[in-house]
Amino acid sequence: MRYQLSAEWSIDIPQGYQQRKDGDHVVFWRKGSTILTTIFAYSGEKNRHVLLANLKARAEAEKLEVITDLDGELERFGYFKTETILPGHTRLALHAFTTAPYGCLQTSFYLDDPDELREHLKVWQSVAHEAAE
């Protein structure tokens, strides 16, 4: 189902997810999976390049696996982390950033089952941005 997160940003979320607004975030969840979305604005390409450089430096410093994609004016950058929730229980986190000339949609995916990653990569690829007029 297509969700309009703002006038500019939208995303496809599979059936079966519940949704709530939590401050500046829109959260989608179901058993074993949470998707947290946050929209950021900045004042142009220079700020986008600074954001991406900072994200890449952080991922490199922590030796994290990264994923990148360029799709027209959208540039995607994400990194994977394994997070310990409770002793003996970990989850895979994908922190994904879709950047446009004047804004970014951060989409963090928290998965109890790493085998669901492919489905969630498709959700990230579904992120669309329409420039405000």
Mean pLDDT of 118-130: 96
Mean pLDDT of 33-49: 93
> Rounded CA gap, 99 and 49, in Å?
10
pLDDT at 100: 94
The residue whose two tokens read 């490199």 is 60
pLDDT at 33: 96
8 A C-beta contact, residue 94 and residue 108: yes
Structure tokens at 77: 């950058």
> Rounded CA gap, 111 and 88, in Å?
15
Domains of the chain: 2-129 (3.40.1000.10)
Residue 88 burial (10 A CB sphere; 0-12, 13-18, 19+):
exposed
> Rounded CA gap, 84 and 119, in Å?
22
pLDDT at 133: 62
Residue in 92, 94, 89 with CA at minimum distance from that of residue 36: 94
Question: How much is the pTM?
Answer: 0.92
Structure tokens at 113: 């089952």
pLDDT at 76: 97
pLDDT over 70 for what percent of the chain? 98
> Rounded CA gap, 116 and 126, in Å?
16
